[in-house]
């Protein structure tokens, strides 16, 4: 799905026909389905449930690459319902406006059979769960969740099998203790030559939307945890104005947690020992099941503990390097959405200690970078 020449985009561009799903088994991961895109398969498999292939899941997968390359998306085999097509146009129209792209053109090939009658909606509510702060907040505060969905090949990459296996074992215990079930899905999407090359900040919500439709027989509502506070709605691949548009009459997408900054979410989870024992924010140290402690996300999480829950220790976050040292080692924070999180911490810091002073220096460096 290479980009169309600029001159051709204004006239006639060859459409992309929606690929068809086919069954396969991936050694070491289990049975599932795949479709071929740009000459390479992208697959989704599960040892827990049978996945439900359909044009909605395929359209979620292909729509953004078509949008990014200026190629129309054509339905020539299976056709989704008109409500879903309208939602896809709305989702890609929103993304096009954010990133200066031409709106996606969708078409139905002549002779394409009409969509079949929609099966009955499944009952139940599923939460996309990663073991991070946002998904833990949703787990304890969104009512009625009965299924946790963990995607291997999303945050925990396929190559980091030890980390994924450890997380799955922990999440099965967590779900069982709460009377819920865990459904695991594995995908090679981020390793696919076309899909893995997409800008992840624009595409990061898509794998969850694909999996939601593939699990339409398991639940009807799928909860996506917000990464940002509602006052800071930056264009992003998962967004409260975007996620729901990937749904249809069988699958509803709920974007949850906008009312809280991430630091406030941690405070709201203060009395949940399981969070402090298993919290996952990065994946480079699979053998110990811990976080690295010095990447940006680890430093930010350690800072939230320091400011919001002084005296509470997260067992999966190392104490070295010292937090002030880790803050000083960060040259700057380039993304404005992340700077707001550090501002939250600075506003809530209760002591003029070495951590607060290092934090103030980081915010000043980041502001100076954007406003020389």
**pLDDT, average across residues 35-61:** 96
Question: pTM to 2 decimals?
Answer: 0.92
When pLDDT is cut at 50, 70 and 90, the band that residue 6 belongs to is very low
For residues 185 and 296, membership in a common domain is answered with: no
Chain segment 156-200, per-residue pLDDT in tens: 889 888 888 889 999 999 999 999 999 999 999 999 999 999 999
Chain segment 316-347, per-residue pLDDT in tens: 999 999 999 999 999 888 877 788 889 989 99
Count: domains in the chain: 3
More confident residue, 265 or 116: 265
What is the reported pLDDT for 244?
96
| Within-domain flag for 1 | no
Q: Going by DSSP bridges, is the β-strand pair 181-187/40-45 parallel, antiparallel, or unpaired?
A: antiparallel
Of 75, 108, 141, which residue constitutes the final position of a domain? 108
- Helix, strand, coil % in the chain, rounded to nearest 5: 40, 15, 45
What is the reported pLDDT for 77?
85
Intra-chain end-to-end CA distance of the chain, in Å: 40
What is the reported pLDDT for 341?
86
Distance CA 56, CA 51 (A): 13
| Within-domain flag for 29 | yes
Asked whether residue 371 carries a pLDDT value surpassing 80, the answer given is no
Chain segment 10-22, per-residue pLDDT in tens: 446 899 999 999 9
Distance CA 330, CA 245 (A): 37
**pLDDT, average across residues 36-43:** 96
| Within-domain flag for 129 | yes
Chain segment 281-305, per-residue pLDDT in tens: 987 665 566 888 888 999 999 999 9
For residues 28 and 134, membership in a common domain is answered with: no
| Within-domain flag for 66 | yes
| Within-domain flag for 54 | yes
For residues 210 and 144, membership in a common domain is answered with: yes
What is the reported pLDDT for 79?
87
Asked whether residue 210 carries a pLDDT value surpassing 90, the answer given is yes
- Percentage of the chain beyond pLDDT 90 is 72
What is the reported pLDDT for 308?
93
Asked whether residue 154 carries a pLDDT value surpassing 60, the answer given is yes
| Within-domain flag for 275 | no
Distance CA 346, CA 18 (A): 49
For residues 297 and 191, membership in a common domain is answered with: no
When pLDDT is cut at 50, 70 and 90, the band that residue 119 belongs to is confident
For residues 135 and 17, membership in a common domain is answered with: no
For residues 170 and 54, membership in a common domain is answered with: no
What is the reported pLDDT for 5?
44
What is the reported pLDDT for 333?
86
Q: Give the position of tokens 């896809």.
A: 88
Chain segment 211-245, per-residue pLDDT in tens: 999 999 999 999 999 988 887 788 889 999 999 99
| Within-domain flag for 165 | yes
For residues 237 and 135, membership in a common domain is answered with: yes
What is the reported pLDDT for 181?
97
Q: Which domain holds residue 225?
A: 125-256
**pLDDT, average across residues 349-354:** 86
Of 62, 79, 108, which residue constitutes the final position of a domain? 108
For residues 135 and 85, membership in a common domain is answered with: no
For residues 154 and 247, membership in a common domain is answered with: yes
For residues 192 and 164, membership in a common domain is answered with: yes
Provide the β-strand partners of residue 106.
73
When pLDDT is cut at 50, 70 and 90, the band that residue 7 belongs to is very low
Of 256, 279, 297, which residue constitutes the final position of a domain? 256
Could you give the dihedral angle defined by the CA atoms of residues 239, 237, 164 and 223, in that order, rounded to the nearest 10 degrees? 30
For residues 94 and 153, membership in a common domain is answered with: no
What is the reported pLDDT for 150?
98
Query: What CATH number should be reported for the domain holding residue 217?
Result: 3.40.50
**pLDDT, average across residues 18-29:** 96
What is the reported pLDDT for 19?
96
What is the reported pLDDT for 10?
42
Asked whether residue 124 carries a pLDDT value surpassing 80, the answer given is yes
More confident residue, 253 or 233: 253
Distance CA 203, CA 276 (A): 30
265 sits in the region (left: phi over 0; alpha: psi -120 to 50; else beta) called alpha
| Within-domain flag for 279 | no
For residues 130 and 244, membership in a common domain is answered with: yes
Whole-number average pLDDT of the chain: 90
- Percentage of the chain beyond pLDDT 70 is 94
């Amino acid at each position: 799905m290479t980009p169309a020449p600029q001159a051709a985009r204004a006239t006639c561009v060859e459409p992309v026909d929606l690929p068809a799903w086919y069954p396969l088994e991936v050694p070491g991961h289990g049975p599932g389905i795949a479709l071929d895109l740009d000459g390479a398969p992208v697959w989704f498999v599960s040892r827990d449930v049978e996945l439900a292939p359909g044009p909605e899941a395929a359209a979620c997968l292909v729509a953004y690459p078509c949008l990014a390359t200026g190629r129309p998306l054509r339905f020539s085999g299976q056709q989704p319902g008109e409500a879903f097509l309208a939602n896809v146009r709305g989702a890609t129209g929103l993304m096009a406006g954010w990133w200066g792209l031409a709106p996606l053109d969708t078409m139905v090939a002549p002779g394409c059979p009409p969509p079949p009658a929609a099966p009955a909606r499944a009952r139940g509510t599923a939460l996309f769960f990663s073991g991070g702060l946002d998904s833990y907040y949703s787990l304890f505060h969104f009512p009625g969740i009965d299924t946790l969905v963990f995607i291997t090949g999303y945050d925990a990459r396929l190559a980091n099998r030890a980390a994924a296996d450890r997380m799955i074992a922990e999440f099965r215990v967590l779900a069982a203790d709460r009377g819920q079930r865990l459904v695991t899905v594995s995908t090679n999407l981020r390793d696919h030559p076309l899909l893995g090359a997409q800008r992840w900040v624009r595409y990061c919500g898509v794998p969850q939307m694909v999996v939601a439709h593939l699990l339409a027989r398991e639940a009807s509502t799928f909860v996506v945890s917000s990464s940002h506070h509602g006052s800071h709605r930056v264009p992003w691949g998962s967004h409260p104005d975007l996620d729901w548009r990937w749904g249809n009459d069988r699958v509803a997408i709920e974007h949850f947690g906008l009312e809280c900054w991430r630091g406030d979410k941690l405070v709201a989870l203060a009395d949940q020992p399981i969070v402090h024992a298993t919290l996952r924010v990065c994946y480079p140290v699979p053998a110990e099941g811990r976080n690295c402690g010095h990447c940006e996300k680890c430093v930010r999480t350690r800072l939230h503990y320091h400011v919001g829950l002084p005296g509470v220790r997260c067992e999966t976050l190392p104490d070295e390097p010292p937090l002030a040292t880790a803050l000083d080692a960060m040259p700057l924070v380039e993304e404005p959405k992340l700077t707001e999180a550090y501002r939250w911490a600075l506003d809530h810091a209760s002591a003029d200690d070495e951590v607060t002073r290092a934090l103030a220096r980081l915010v000043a460096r980041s502001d100076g970078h954007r406003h020389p």
